[in-house]
Structure 1
Amino acid sequence: MTGARNRIGEQVLLRPVPPEAYLSYTAEMVRTLDEYHQVSAIRAAVFLSEQDCPYEEEFDGNDLCATHFLLKAKGRPVGTLRIRWFADFAKLERIVLLPCQRGRPGLRVLLATAFELVARKGYERMIGQIQARLWPVWSRTFRCRLIDGRAPFWFSDYEYREIEIFIPRHPKALQMLEDPYLIIRPEGAWDEPGVLEASAQRSNSGEQAA
């Protein structure tokens, strides 16, 4: 997804991503331990240091069952978010930028890239738990609404509200009966042949291997 427009993901945003932003920023799914260390460093710098969040509340036991995205500005890690997956919705969490990147278009690159993946996986709605003080910011950033009838709640010393985020239907949303090789490709790289497809060429017989 590097350098390419996230055409479905951008439809969630209230302002388009400037084309030149894709030249300055990359946002990609975290696939390696080193990339996850970069995610942790950014979150520690902001949530633990700036917001004085306790370590065990920030690193809450959900990181290894979530999908993380890492934003880089000219190769430097500057932002991240994570997504967790449920039956008919996804949950947007831990959106964070280093101070030097706030108010710049990198956030829109990060969000559009994440929303693109959510749509491709077939989800059409997300939930977010946002600090109540930031509702004016998020309501101007992407298509969302406060969920009716849901009271504010508190954790880690901040008041939170629940929002619903609307995701357009992706024309290539994945289905259960896709080509089996497509389904076993690396997450998010479904349009590129994977290593397991190449491995199929090793067999020159019709025998099934356990």
Structure 2
Amino acid sequence: MRIGRAEDDAARQACFDIRRAVFIEEQRIPEGEEWDAHDATCIHYLAEDATGPVGTARLIAKGQRAKIGRVAVMPSHRGTGLGAQIMQAVMDDAKAHGFARAELEAQVYAIAFYERLGFVAEGPDFDDGSGIMHRVMRAEL
């Protein structure tokens, strides 16, 4: 398994293809909610194995905070620990680049997953516009 920054157009497109499959097609998030201006400026991460691209995440720099989002794993690789590996790679990269804290907006069903990675839920649940309830979570890096 290789997890790293998506450095070229082909790697970024692979990230977008995974997000389309997981969020738009599988979770039925409206296309207009999935894509935003941050996609052009954030850091995208791609997980690949011998079969090809299998997972992704992105990081938006907000001062000393790294906002992690769009974490997605293809159905064929769920339950393998890949989601945790992606998150650890993103958090390690963020720390290496001077970020002091990570934050994210977790889908409520995934809160326990992020808690195992050291994140703490804060505030009330909210609908981010996709129709799926979320909660803000933070972790020190």
> Where do residues 77-92 of structure 1 align in structure 2 (5 Å cutoff)?
77-92=53-68
TM-score by length of 1: 0.64
Higher radius of gyration, 1 or 2:
1
The residue that corresponds to 1:180 in the other structure is: none
Work out whether residues 91 and 102 of structure 2, in 8 Å CA contact, stay in contact via their aligned partners in 1.
no
> Taking every aligned residue pair, what percent have the same amino acid on both sides?
23
Match of 1:48 among 18, 24, 28: 24
CA distance in 2, matches of 1:138, 1:111: 9
Match of 1:161 among 122, 126, 135: 135
**Count of aligned positions:** 140
Q: How far off its partner does 1:107 sit?
A: 2.4
CA distance in 1, matches of 2:108, 2:84: 21
Q: What is the CA deviation profile of residues 39-81 of structure 1, one whole-angstrom value per residue up to 9, with x for unaligned ones?
A: 1110100101111111111012210110000001225100000
The residue that corresponds to 1:152 in the other structure is: 125
Residues 92 and 46 from structure 1, CA distance in 2 versus in 1: closer, same or farther, beyond 3 angstroms? Answer: same
Gaps of 5+ in 1: 1-24, 168-210
Match of 1:124 among 86, 94, 100: 100
The residue that corresponds to 1:26 in the other structure is: 2
Tell me how large the CA RMSD over aligned residues is: 1.2
The residue that corresponds to 1:11 in the other structure is: none
Letter matched to residue 126 of structure 2: F
- 1:97 equivalent to 2:73? Answer yes
Letter matched to residue 95 of structure 1: V
SS at match of 2:28: coil
**Comparing both structures, which one devotes a greater share of its residues to strand?**
2
